[in-house]
Amino acid sequence: MPKYLIRREVPGIGDLSADQLHDMSAKSNAALGQVGEGVQWVQSYVTGDRLFCVYNAESEEKIREHARVGGFPCEEITQVRGIIDPVTGEG
């Protein structure tokens, strides 16, 4: 499945407690269960007012469906075309 980066504008998310982040994650998991196969949440990065999520999905539409079902913002979806790291530059 293709990999995507999702940008979500969530004012104040960086100030949420561990319990609040837990609840948000549980809500996302429940939405994934409703959407069914074809979309997988890999991980998310929390910043001050944004959430950057990594998903594997059959299509952008599956990600948008997850956002609709869960009531999550979804400002931008970008398909990952490649992954590089320090090892890429060796040798």
For the domain that residue 21 is a member of, what is the CATH number?
A: 3.30.70.3090
Q: Report pLDDT for 84.
A: 96
Q: Is residue 90 part of a domain?
A: no
Q: Report pLDDT for 91.
A: 83
Q: Report pLDDT for 58.
A: 97
Each residue's pLDDT tens digit, 49-66: 999 999 999 999 999 999
Average of pLDDT values for 23-28?
97
Q: Report pLDDT for 34.
A: 97
Give the chain's domain count. Answer: 1
CA distances, 28 to each of 37, 85, 90 (Å) = 14, 29, 38
Q: Is residue 33 part of a domain?
A: yes
Average of pLDDT values for 35-60?
97
Confidence class of residue 13 from pLDDT cuts 50, 70 and 90? Answer: very high
Confidence class of residue 47 from pLDDT cuts 50, 70 and 90? Answer: very high
Q: Which domain holds residue 40?
A: 3-84
